Amino acid sequence: MNVKMLTLGAMALALMTGSALAAGDKGTSALDDSAKMAPFYTDKDMKTLKSEADFKAAWMALTDDDRASMKKDCGDEVIAKEHDNFCKMTKQLGGSN
pLDDT per residue over 16-42, tens digit each? 655 444 444 455 788 999 999 999 999
Domain ranges of the chain: 29-92
Higher local confidence (pLDDT), 4 or 71: 71
Q: pLDDT by residue (tens digit) across 51-88?
A: 999 999 999 999 999 999 999 999 999 999 999 999 99
Q: What is the CA radius of gyration of the chain?
A: 20
pLDDT at residue number 14? 64
Report the distance separating Cα 23 and Cα 38, nearest Å: 24
Instruction: Note whether 72 and 33 are within 8 A (CB).
Output: no
- Predicted TM-score (pTM) of the model is 0.66
